[in-house]
Amino acid sequence: MAERTFVMIKPDGVQRGLIGEIIKRLERVGLKPVAMKFIRMSREQAEKLYAVHKGKPFYESLIEYVTSGPVVVSVREGPKAIEIVRKIIGATDPAKAAPGTIRGDFALDISHNVIHASDSKESFEYEHKIFFSEDEIVKRERIDEKRLI
Ligand code: CMP
């Protein structure tokens, strides 16, 4: 099975009308969506998602912000999906994110950085289960993949 990763378009990305642009960038490098939802996450889900940051100075404002409006959560599939998505989204701090990356092109500051994605297989396993049950992940093949065989 190809690698999977968890991707979330954050409230600022949704509010600024960037859903289509972000999905386009992920799709054109062949990262297939296998699950996607438009949700307003609960405080409990936010605390789970960002549990590793509990106690850090930005934790409370991060939880408040990520629950402040709708987000798009998704699971993407493709070879080396985790590494490729991290490259496409760019560094956490937009000041360090290269031009051409999603954050480099659109993020306003480190708190409003448009998108989140898993940084390892372990974080994917943990993160996607907060939002998706196993039967919500769709098994599929893309038409162009079939033609390559
Ligand atoms: P994300 O990839 O979603 O993971 C944790 C988030 O915390 C990060 O993106 C940032 O949006 C947010 N954050 C806010 N302040 C900081 C900070 N000083 N260092 C790291 N992350 C921060």
List the CATH number of the domain containing 40.
3.30.70.141
- Is there a domain that residue 102 lies in? yes
Residue 142 inside a domain? The answer is no
Confidence bin at 15 (pLDDT 50/70/90): very high
Can you give the pLDDT at residue 50? 98
Residue 139, in any domain of the structure: no
Best residue among 12, 92, 124 to mutate for probing ligand 1's pocket (most ligand atoms within 8 Å of CB) is 92
Q: So what's the pLDDT on residue 2?
A: 86
* CA 59 – ligand 1 centroid, Å: 9
Mutation choice for ligand 1 from 22, 53, 62, CB with most ligand atoms inside 8 A: 62
- Domain presence at residue 48: yes
Give the per-residue pLDDT at 141: 75
63 Cβ below 6 A of ligand 1: no
Domain that holds residue 102: 3-133
Evaluate whether residue 147 is within a structural domain: no
With bands split at pLDDT 50, 70 and 90, how would you rate the model's confidence at 148? Answer: low
The token pair that represents 1 in the structure block: 């099975």
By the 8 A CB rule, do 112 and 32 touch? no
Mean pLDDT for all residues in the chain: 95
Order of all β-strands in the sheet with 4-9: 32-39, 71-77, 4-9, 115-117
> What is the domain count for the chain?
1
Over residues 28-43, the pLDDT tens digits come to: 998 999 999 999 999 9
Q: Ligand 1 in contact with 116 (CB < 6 A)?
A: yes
- Per the listing, tokens 């062949």 go with 30
Give domain status of residue 138, yes or no: no
CA distance 106 to 113: 8
With the C-alpha atoms ordered 25, 31, 32, 37, is the resulting torsion angle positive or negative?
Answer: negative
Asked if the structure places residue 110 within a domain, the reply is yes
Instruction: Compute the distance between CA of residue 106 and CA of residue 18 in angstroms, rounded to an integer.
Output: 9
